[in-house]
Amino acid sequence: MKSACKLWITIIPMLIFLVYPHRTTAQNVEACFMVTSSGKTINLGTLCGITPTNSGVFRIPIKRRIAKTPVIDVTFNGNKTFEMILDTGATSVVITQAMVEALKITPTGTMQASIADGSEVQFNTSNIQAIAVGGAVVNNVQVAIAPKADIGLLGHDFFDNYDVKILQKEVEFHRR
């Protein structure tokens, strides 16, 4: 009796697995999507703030360095490119007054931020539709406006979904 019971305990789960149809789908956990009740996959990349690409690694040449910190080209809204410092210590993306004028944007709010020396500073803010570095794109980014800055800073609000590798002549963004 015990051996028959053990046999059924072993066989029943296998039969259930074989009788009921199962569909297995490999999913890219890094992508942003939803699956409808009918099984259709819908891309939500624009809602999640990341534009999916075929490659998970984006390589961007370093144009020059300021105090050993890389300066790279960054494109705003698909049409205006500016040199910016890749600042791994900055939380936000910071743009200059000249960038504000070139992009024809207006401040929409303010934010309080701690700067490198530890002091608190208030910045005007605005939203940028898209910021791109190579193939890496982040949508709907709030940026701080630093009217006295000479060059913008590309901070974590841009590369937070990437592992950043700074090499001698280029920067690599590895999608997480």
138-169 tens-digit pLDDT: 999 999 999 999 999 999 999 998 999 999 99
Q: What are phi and psi of 13, to 5 degrees?
A: -60, -35
Write out the two tokens for 117.
């020396």
pLDDT at 22 over 50: no
56-93 tens-digit pLDDT: 889 999 999 999 999 999 999 989 999 999 999 889 99
pLDDT at 127 over 70: yes
pTM: predicted TM-score of the whole model, two decimal places: 0.67
Average pLDDT over residues 90-113: 94
Write out the two tokens for 32.
């942003």
pLDDT value of position 99: 97
User: Distance from CA of residue 171 to its chain's centroid?
Assistant: 15
Dump the DSSP string for 64-111: EEETTEEEEEEEETTTEEEEEEE-TT-SSEEEEHHHHHHHT----EEE
pLDDT at 136 over 80: yes
Confidence band, pLDDT 50/70/90 cuts, at residue 26: very low
CB 134 within 8 Å of CB 60: yes
Integer Cα distance of 128 and 149 in angstroms: 18
